Structures are given as C-alpha cells and as structure tokens.
Amino acid sequence: MFKRILIANRGEIACRVIKTARRMGIATVAVYSEADRNALHVAMADEAVPIGPPPAAESYLVMERIIEACRQTGAEAVHPGYGFLSEREAFPRALAAAGIVFIGPNPGAIAAMGDKIESKKAAAKAKVSTVPGHLGVIEDDKQAVKIADEIGYPVMIKASAGGGGKGMRIAHSASEVAEGFKLARAEAKSSFGDDRVFIEKFIVDPRHIEIQVLGDKHGNVIYLGERECSIQRRNQKVIEEAPSPLLDEATRRKMGEQAVALAKAVNYDSAGTVEFVAGQDKSFYFLEMNTRLQVEHPVTELVTGIDLVEQMIRVAAGERLTIAQSDVTLTGWAVESRVYAEDPFRNFLPSIGRLVKYRPPAEATHDGVTVRNDTGVTEGGEISLYYDPMIAKLITHAPSRAAAIDAHAHALDDFYVDGIRHNIPFLSALMDHPRWREGRLSTGFIAEEFPKGFAVRAPEGDIARRIAAVGAAIDHVLGERKRLISGQMDGRQVARERRRAVWLGRSEIALEIARDAEGIAVRFVMPDGTLGPERHLVSAWKPGEPVWHGTVDGTAIAVQVRPIANGFRLSHRGIEVPVYVYTETEAAAARLMPEEAVSDTGKKLLCPMPGLVISVDVAEGQEVKAGETLAVIEAMKMQNVLRAERDGTVKAIHAKPGATLAVDALILEFA
C-alpha cells in the first residue's frame, strides 16, 4: 500500500479523498493555487504545495507542476478527483513516465471512452443497448419512412452537420417523417450548407440513470447498482438518488451486466460510471462512460456500504477486488443535493464572496437516518470566481425513499449559509414538490415544473401556520428575556397579552400564545373569531442562535432565523419571509403605515452578480436598441452578456473593463 498520495484537485473532492486516505493510514499531499492558499483541503492534508496563480489553466491543469509536487514530497500516487485532469489520457501517461501511480483507470480505457463516437461503437460491439438509428445518408423521404418504420416511433430526424436545434424534427408517424425529412433537409442546407440528415429513436420523457462499476487490474469487474440523476438544470445534475424509483431488479441486473460488459471490453480497472438514457417503460440506451469518480458517488456508498475512494486506492496499488457481485446489496435509500453559490431568484447567477456564516447540519446517524455533508469550505472562507461554485454536497440515507427525502428536507432547513446567495431555497422547494416525491421524474422536470424560473414563494396553508407559530414563539422568548433585564424601575408588573398578529410578509395570521410547563402553546384565531385547535411547540432556542430547532406537535422541524428591523426573516422548506409579531394595538398602528415605494431602476444597468467586467460595449451618448450587448461580466468561469431591455441612449458609464463589481453595483445609466 502507498505511504503517501497527492490529490490533484481542490474543494470538497480533495477533502473527501483525504478523509479516506487518513482512515487507511496514508499520508496526503494537497496542491493549491494562490486563490486556495487558505482553503480547507490545504489545512486538512499532511503537506501542501503551491502550484501557481488562481486560473486553473495556470495551476491545477498544469501536469508538470503536479509531477514536480510529487517529486518534492515523495508522493507515490496521485488521485485526480473529478474535473481538471481526471479524464485526460495524457495525465496517467505522464505520471507513469515519472514513476508515479495514477489512482484511476488505465490511459487506454480513458481514450476508448473519451471519444463519444468511438465509445458508442465499442458499446454496440459489447452488445450494450444503444439508441436505435440509421447513421448513414438517407436518399429520399421514402427511404426515411422505411427506416423510421423499422426503428419505431417516435423518431428524431437530425441534420448531420446540425446544431442549435436547426435541421431537427420529431416525427410520430410515417406522414410526419416524410414532411419532417423535407423540412429538415431544407433547414440543414440553408443553415449549414449540408443537407445530409440521419434518423434515430426519440426517447419520450427520458430519464438519466447511471451504473457504478468497479474493476481491478486482474480482470475483475462488478457493478454497484444505479443512481438516478434525472433532476437536472441546463444539463447539470441538481439532485441524485440511489437506487432509482424506476427500476426493478430485472432491469437493474440487465443494465449492470451491460455496464460490466462494456467495462471489460475496454479493460477498465478502477471506479467508473456507465450512463444511460432510459424511457419511462424501463427501456434504456447507452449514453457515455465517465472514466473517473462521479460527483454523486456518495449515494452509492451509502446504499452499498462500500467506500469507492478506498477501492480506487487499493486497486491502483495492485490489490484484487475482495467484493464479488453476489456480495453487493442495496440497503435503504440515499438522496444527494448539490449546494451551489448561485442565486436561484436571479436565474441562478453565480454568487461569490465570503461565507460570513457557514453552519451545515451535523453529520450523524440517528434512528436509522444518516446525514452526510461533503464540503470543501469553512466559515470565513471565500467562494472564488475562478472555480466551480459548489459549496457542499448534502446526502441523507434512510430505510425508505420517503424517509430519505423527509430527512433531506429537514437537513436543508438546518443548513445555514450567510454572506453569499445560495440555492438552498430551490433545493428545499424541490424536496417538497409532489412530482419529485412521487418519483415521476424526467430530465425535463425542472424546465417543466419551473418554466418561468424559480421565484419567491409566499407561505400558504400548513407551512404558513407553522412559520407563524415559530415566529410567535421566538418573539415570546425575546419578550421573556427583556422582562429579565436588571435595573428596571419598580412598578406595576407587566402582564403580556396572549393575542398576537403575526405578519408573514403582507399576509396576517392571528393567534393566541402562552407559556406552559413543557413549552409554548399556540391557538390560531379562526375567521369567525373562535379559537382553533392548540399546537404545542417545544424548543431550547436562545436569542442569537441562527436556527430554531424544536418540535411542533411532536414533529421535529428546523427554521432559520435572521434578525431584521423590528422583526426577523424566517426560512423554512424553501420559503424565506420577513416576520413581524405585533400585539393587537401595535398591529392596528402598523396597518396605517404607508408602504415604501420601490425605487425605479429601469434607467440603470446594475451588475446582477459579483464579477469581473470583461467589456463595456457601448459609449456615452450612444443610442442602443433592445437586445444589444451593453456589457459582459465574468464569474466562476462563466461569461454573462448583459443586454438592453429597451431602446435608449447611454447617459453615463460607471464601470470600466477589469473592474471587480459587487452585486447590484451600477454599470451605466440611460438618459
């Protein structure tokens, strides 16, 4: 076994590898760019070596610097994590030339699966299900209909030189094929100067399901069940789970055996993933193979009890797999969500800055429920504009899918982050979504369920009453503490009113509240003025704590608490709302207060996220039309083009290229 390994990566995956290596008694070496000098993975490792400036192309992607760091520290092997150099065939070859072991598959397997066309040929040769289609040139509409009849409807007619949706038609019948063939050819000719089209099976309402495989250097390969990754936004996975709610044991075995056949065909000898597109009828077709550890590997670890990083290290050291296929069992259900530094209320634009507060839920196993948090940040750390915006991966495991989802929703409520915007409200909303909870998934889920993006949700029904009860309880505890302030003047003892008006944003809920022996009792006032059934709240919450933990009628909940003027902002189940708790007298006065008018920012271009100004594409006095580019802002490897929403004349420019701007910073004004 290796004595020292180097992790050629950063963030949560570097920390993840370090944890397993430490448990195995292996010393670790971290590498870091100047931007990551104070990063968590640097602090966790036994040694750390600087490898260059912040841009990845000048640090984490420079093979020579990784190899030199190995020489300096005596690292015998390198774990690449995922991303960066993990799937570059040249990297394991360069390491081998330097006498260093690559903790991953052999370069031949990486090359074979790295080319999408060649990988599909290899899959077909290994008798893996591939999308039925005709990749040859089709002469006329009659031949097109014949091919479509053989494939089975619906079919996709695609331009051979296509892209951007041009020269593409979906056909559900022979007549639609004949018409679509002509239209696709015409579009392809005008768009690309090439009228060749091909036909393949169109998978309706597809799901994304992948099989985890594990091989050693002695020809042994097994599969470790599947993961469902259908909840995606812009082709990026958001939530993953294991197992899949779609598959039965027979389909799982068939997919697993095909994945193993493909892995054996390319002599695969590490952890890897074979991805499939699946129909709702459990049909499945090869998509691609990822020759590395996947971001979502923890859900597989929790349902199988197998540490994939440990297996990768052991296999790289030449050990045989000690796990046979018959040893692999799937126990319970695991759900993972990716916590990103992005603003879901601003179309998920990246958010950078300092983590003023970072309080993830405690990692523990209790009553059969496990909460795990794979992270690479700490409180006070900085989310950099140079790298992926992931803050953490939250994973829960429970005996059933419903229990795992409930545990996940509770853990998200408990996940407190301040200083930057994050997608926890969106993830929480997904956990409560009926279609998700029912397992009716597809890769179009988010686009279909949130067609206009994610917006602030007003609390309704039981959640509104729950938030109102907690808000009243928090106010009651604050009031009790005020009564205990020393040095108060003697006089008539204060008797607190029981009736409260709780304002959740613009809605008002009336209730009565009182302390009893075990906690706080709340009764809501019904529309006819009568009192509803009593709700009982028990909590040890103290003023200043960021999360209210407690029970409402015996059910554990967590509510995030942020102080604001005259009240507090509460966050629960994806809902963030300002809460004000008034006595009846205070509420009567508050109702008379005029509402603040929102300032008109229509004549200003504000920076939608913290970022770097790449260009300002207009000049003062210039007339612009709606849709014209005004400026380009870069954050987290993404360039965002800011366009004019209406016609106008540029009055003044306040930002220059190269400037670093905060969110809502003024870029330019219109006349």
Task: Provide the 10 A C-beta neighbour count for residue 131.
Answer: 16
Give the residue-averaged pLDDT of 364-385.
95
What DSSP string describes 69-111? HHHHHT--EEE--SSTTTT-THHHHHHHHTT-EESS--HHHHH
- What's CA 490's distance to the chain center, in Å? 57
Give the model's pLDDT for residue 487: 83
What DSSP string describes 333-399? EEEEEEEESEEGGGTTEE--EE-SEEEPPPPEEETTEEEEEEES--TT-EE-TTS--EEEEEEEEES
Query: How does residue 153 score in pLDDT terms, banded at 50, 70 and 90?
Result: very high
The CATH number of the structural domain formed by 461-484+495-590 is 3.30.700.30
| Number of helical H runs and strand E runs in the chain | 17, 40
Q: Is 358 exposed, middle or buried (0-12, 13-18, 19+ CB in 10 A)?
A: buried
| Nearest to 634, CA basis, from 346, 386, 288, 325 | 386
Check whether 462 has a pLDDT greater than 60: yes
| Nearest to 574, CA basis, from 463, 404, 426, 447 | 426
Q: How large is the angle between the packed helices 141-151 and 174-192, nearest 10 degrees?
A: 120
**Active-site amino acid positions:** 288
Largest CA-CA distance found in the chain, in angstroms, rounded: 99
Give the residue-averaged pLDDT of 373-378.
97
Give the model's pLDDT for residue 635: 72
Give the model's pLDDT for residue 610: 80
Q: Which two tokens stand for residue 9?
A: 């990566």
**pTM for this entry:** 0.85
Give the residue-averaged pLDDT of 182-210.
86
Give the model's pLDDT for residue 415: 98
**C-alpha separations of 119 from 110, 378, 628 in Å:** 10, 40, 42
CB 557 within 8 A of CB 543: no
| Nearest to 316, CA basis, from 103, 4, 86 | 103
Q: Which two tokens stand for residue 183?
A: 């239209």
**C-alpha separations of 458 from 379, 431, 530 in Å:** 30, 17, 25
604-670 folds as OB fold (Dihydrolipoamide Acetyltransferase, E2P) (2.40.50)
Of 33-42, 432-441, 596-605, the range with the lowest mean pLDDT is 596-605
The residues of the chain that CATH labels 3.30.1490.20 are: 133-201
Query: How does residue 640 score in pLDDT terms, banded at 50, 70 and 90?
Result: confident
Q: Which residue has the higher pLDDT, 495 or 15?
A: 15
Give the model's pLDDT for residue 601: 58
Check whether 600 has a pLDDT greater than 90: no
Give the model's pLDDT for residue 636: 64
The residues of the chain that CATH labels 3.30.700.30 are: 461-484+495-590
| Nearest to 339, CA basis, from 425, 406, 407, 401 | 425
CA distance 293 to 214: 10
Give the model's pLDDT for residue 117: 63
CA distance 322 to 67: 31
Instruction: Tell me yes or no: is domain 133-201 CATH 3.30.1490.20.
Output: yes
Give the model's pLDDT for residue 576: 94
Of 22-26, 143-147, 348-352, 493-497, the range with the lowest mean pLDDT is 493-497
Give the residue-averaged pLDDT of 183-190.
84
The residues of the chain that CATH labels 2.40.50.100 are: 604-670
Give the residue-averaged pLDDT of 54-58.
92
CATH architecture of 339-450: 2-Layer Sandwich (3.30)
Give the model's pLDDT for residue 202: 86
What DSSP string describes 510-522? EEEEEE-SSSEEE
CA distance 166 to 402: 42
Of 18-22, 350-354, 445-449, 497-501, the range with the lowest mean pLDDT is 350-354
Give the model's pLDDT for residue 235: 80
Strands 47-50 and 27-32: what pairing? parallel
Q: What is the pLDDT of residues 242-262, one digit of tens each?
A: 999 999 999 999 999 999 999
CA distance 177 to 154: 9
Q: What is the pLDDT of residues 106-152, one digit of tens each?
A: 999 999 998 766 788 889 899 999 888 876 778 899 999 999 999 99
Alpha helix locations (H) across 420-505?
424-431, 434-438, 445-449, 461-483
Percentage of residues of the chain with pLDDT beyond 90: 74
Give the model's pLDDT for residue 375: 97
Q: What is the pLDDT of residues 160-179, one digit of tens each?
A: 766 556 678 889 999 999 99
| Nearest to 210, CA basis, from 299, 121, 133 | 299
Query: How does residue 652 score in pLDDT terms, banded at 50, 70 and 90?
Result: very high
CA distance 519 to 537: 6
Percentage of residues of the chain with pLDDT beyond 70: 97
Give the residue-averaged pLDDT of 334-344.
96
**C-alpha separations of 87 from 65, 83, 93, 315 in Å:** 17, 7, 12, 18
Of 221-235, 390-404, 641-655, the range with the lowest mean pLDDT is 641-655
Query: How does residue 629 score in pLDDT terms, banded at 50, 70 and 90?
Result: confident
Give the model's pLDDT for residue 63: 97
Which of 194-208, 286-300, 338-352 has the highest mean predicted lDDT (pLDDT)? 286-300
Give the model's pLDDT for residue 637: 57
Q: Exposed e or buried b for every residue in 233-248, given b needs 16+ CB within 10 A? A: beeebbbbbbbbebbe
What DSSP string describes 101-153? EESS--HHHHHHHHSHHHHHHHHHHTT-----EE-SPP-SHHHHHHHHHHH-S
Q: Which residue has the higher pLDDT, 192 or 280?
A: 280
Q: What is the pLDDT of residues 516-545, one digit of tens each?
A: 888 999 999 999 989 998 999 999 999 999
Check whether 80 has a pLDDT greater than 90: yes
Say which residues have a Cβ less than 8 Å from residue 420's Cβ, sequence separation at least 6: 341, 351, 352, 353, 354, 355, 383
CB 467 within 8 A of CB 572: yes
Q: Which residue has the higher pLDDT, 229 or 196?
A: 229
**C-alpha separations of 305 from 131, 325, 357, 541 in Å:** 33, 14, 32, 36
Give the residue-averaged pLDDT of 614-643.
84
CA distance 208 to 241: 11
Say which residues have a Cβ less than 8 Å from residue 136's Cβ, sequence separation at least 6: 198
Give the model's pLDDT for residue 496: 72
Check whether 190 has a pLDDT greater than 80: no
**What is the average pLDDT value for the chain, to the nearest integer?**
92
Q: What are 49's strand-pairing partners?
A: 31
Give the model's pLDDT for residue 485: 83
The CATH number of the structural domain formed by 4-103 is 3.40.50.20
Give the residue-averaged pLDDT of 285-290.
91
Give the residue-averaged pLDDT of 489-499.
76
CB 102 within 8 A of CB 271: no
Q: What is the pLDDT of residues 381-404, one digit of tens each?
A: 999 888 888 999 999 999 999 999
Give the model's pLDDT for residue 32: 98
The helix (run of H) or strand (run of E) holding residue 538 is strand 531-539
Give the model's pLDDT for residue 598: 53
Give the model's pLDDT for residue 158: 82
Give the residue-averaged pLDDT of 649-659.
92
CATH of 206-331, one of 3.20.20.70, 3.40.50.300, 3.30.470.20, 3.30.420.40: 3.30.470.20
Check whether 342 has a pLDDT greater than 60: yes
